[in-house]
Structure 1
């Protein structure tokens, strides 16, 4: 039985490097030359492994989502809706201004300014952001059932609000806002969630 040649690169490490290029330059701005240089591979290897530039983005997004999953688990495990919002938004303020990463959020940055040939990219990113919003909605619904939120509270609207604030903070971070500025925005949003608390 014929055995394919082993790949000469570590897929996870290569994806981490590709993720950073997409994060810094967006999908449209990231060139194949930049991606292959960062990943340490040649264009034929990229296409053989991922099929296309869009396929590479989806693989990088999977890796990014995987990394975020543990953090989201921690966010959602907070005992109250207010603390869920605090963990999420203060975490965003910290993560999106961490000098170890590009500023902002890949799920926002990746799809800014996409041309007609890559029209599906913003939808892919929006779908990933919607997953986070859905997780928040479910958690806020549970908070309402447990009597943590007022009977009049709308879990879906609260989740959409926290998600929108999070995305806005990502745009601010990518434009150079510092952690203090983001934390101020987060504090106002946390107060708004607190006002929906039944306790």
Structure 2
């Protein structure tokens, strides 16, 4: 005997929110905050503006959600790198992750966290501030990890954890900008390798 499934209570959304957010993330990644128009976003997401507002809020809200998805997905190498046993391995995993993520053939070149608002004017100031805070948070996590390395004797006692973290982040951001400009994975990997040659040893 055939049984009918009960219809879901409430009005179904009619689209896959996770898939739509993934597509929005890629648009922001490729075009930046200001470059991504609502038409670009909704067309890529396959939904109407009304549906976008209902599911994700305004463009700023959507951008923040897309950045969260980017952090948990393509940029998750950052969190994984912090788990490496030595400070040098942390830096290597972070820089190598940056090279791989910014040069993936199936994704936009560069880094959403770097290019997302580099050229943003006044309308994009919120996105610029959001991304500055995002980068600062990652730098702070590296600093805390390097501070621990100093305490454990893994880094020389005179090492400045904050400066070292900013150095690693600056190299990673430079890799992202170069990748967006067409630099190859091999070339950028050589940059990452060179940055580690001057690593302080205990």
TM norm structure 1: 0.92
**What are the Cα deviations for residues 47-92 of structure 1, in whole angstroms up to 9, with x where unaligned?**
1222211111011111111225752332112121111111111121
How far apart are 1:41 and its partner, in Å? 0.2
Mapping of 1:94-173 within 5 angstroms? 94-173=100-179
SS of the equivalent of 2:73 reads: helix
Query: Within 5 A, what are the aligned runs for 1:70-89?
Result: 70-89=76-95
* Ranges of 4+ aligned residues in structure 1 off by more than 3 Å: none
Total equivalences in the alignment: 194
Flag structure 1 segments of 5+ consecutive residues without an equivalent: none
Aligned to 2:5: none
Report the CA distance shift for 1:168/1:115 in structure 2 as closer, same or farther (over 3 A). same
Matched residues in 1 for 2:43 and 2:80: separation?
Answer: 35
Secondary structure at the counterpart of residue 150 of structure 2? helix
Unaligned runs of 5+ in 2: 1-8
**Alignment match, 1:19:** 25
* Residue 4 (structure 1) shift: 4.6
Q: Find 1:32's aligned residue among 29, 38, 49.
A: 38
Please give the root-mean-square deviation of Cα atoms over the aligned residues, in Å: 1.4
Larger relative contact order, structure 1 or 2 (CA cutoff 8 Å, min sep 6)? 1
The structure-2 alpha-carbon separation of the partners of 1:70 and 1:173, relative to structure 1 and needing over 3 Å to count, comes to closer
Q: Is the 8 A contact 2:150 2:157 kept in 1?
A: yes
Give the superposition deviation at 1:93.
1.1
Q: Once the two structures are superposed, what CA deviation does each residue of 1:123-147 show, in whole Å capped at 9, x if it has no partner? A: 1011111121111111101110110
Render the CA deviation track for 1:104-135: whole Å, top value 9, x for unaligned: 00101211221212211111011111121111
Q: Secondary structure in 1 aligned to 2:155?
A: coil
Indicate the residue corresponding to 1:42 in structure 2.
48
What is the TM-score with the length of structure 2 in the denominator?
0.91
Deviations 1:3-46 (A, max 9, x none): 65221111111010000000111111111111111101011111
